[in-house]
Amino acid sequence: ISNLSDKDILVLRLDLTDRSSHEAATNSVLKHFGKIDVLVNNGGRSQRSLFVDTNLEVFSAIMELNYLGTISLTKHVLNHMIQRRKGKIVTVSSVMGIMGAPLASGYCASKHALQIDVLVNNGGRSQRSLFVDTNLEVFSAIMELNYLGTISLTKHVLNHMIQRRKGKIVTVSSVMGIMGAPLASGYCASKHALQGFFNSLRTELTDYPDISVINICPGPVQSKIIQNVFTEKLDKSIENSGDQSHKMPTERCVRLTLVSTANDLKEAWISDHPYLAVCYLWQYAPTWAWWLMNRMGKRRIQNFKSGVDADASYSRKKK
């Protein structure tokens, strides 16, 4: 250090919460030194207050400084390192990023935010249209959203989990990923694709026993999924979504999903009858499953064409 000259030292004032200044600071360093070999992320503030006593603005400020400010600066420096294909990014997190502690809930959250413990893939749209009436663009859009979008996000998150050698990938598939049903041929195809993909991915991760791949297969659940389904044309919405009250309550589906995730179940079927019974038939007595689904399928189409929910009339719950 005693041999350093003025040209070897550059002092900059930098406010991590002022994200607009991060690019300028990075450029100043590059202009002075010509390169950045090491970035040490060491900015942040801790916390000493109970959660129940603390304003939400404090949690927002902690996250803005400790997490968003850190990744914003990292983003600008990383672009340079990628061009050089070398560099070191050192982030001073905290033991609070591993454990929790009283009086520091917001601080712990900001440090935990530098890692991803659980990815829940729950994006997608269902379908209500017969195959013969449906444009091919609809099938392409379903697969792009439900399948390709899901595995694209998973790919980026998985790289991080592999580096940490732990994590949970939870994918909300569907009982339609196990069986087939009319009015949802494209949706079923996308869910079968997810099932095949994540069952295959699990076998690729045997060297990482602490990375769990969990498939959740719900049946009909009360939600807005029917109001947002694909129909036979991309620009056409469903005219009548029908009554949804006969389906499994959302709260119960969420609870069972969390229980399945906590217990690292590889696959969980979450449904009321008759769909749950059909899942078991499909697994152990497929001939009977085909017979039952053919009968249920006719009723499903009749329901849809008459303007009620496709699954209404054979639900075990009474309106």
> Tens digit of pLDDT for each residue in 179-213?
988 999 899 989 998 998 899 899 999 999 999 99
Summarize pLDDT for 3-53 with one digit per residue, the tens: 777 788 899 989 999 988 999 999 999 999 999 999 999 999 998 887 668
Summarize pLDDT for 252-272 with one digit per residue, the tens: 999 999 999 999 999 999 999
Name the catalytic one among 187, 275, 284, 314: 187
Summarize pLDDT for 65-78 with one digit per residue, the tens: 888 888 889 988 99
What would the two tokens of residue 134 be? Answer: 């449906």
Instruction: Quickly list DSSP for 246-315.
Output: TSBPHHHHHHHHHHHHHTT-SEEEE--TTHHHHHHHHHH-HHHHHHHHHHHHHHHHHHHHTTS-TTSTT-
CB-CB contact of 97 with 155 (8 Å): no
For the whole model, what pTM was predicted?
0.67
All structural domains of the chain with their residue ranges: 6-112, 118-305
Classify 118-305 by CATH class.
alpha beta
Summarize pLDDT for 83-129 with one digit per residue, the tens: 999 999 999 988 777 666 777 777 777 776 668 899 999 999 999 99
Active site residue 187: yes
CATH of 6-112, one of 3.40.190.10, 3.40.50.2000, 3.40.50.720, 3.20.20.70: 3.40.50.720
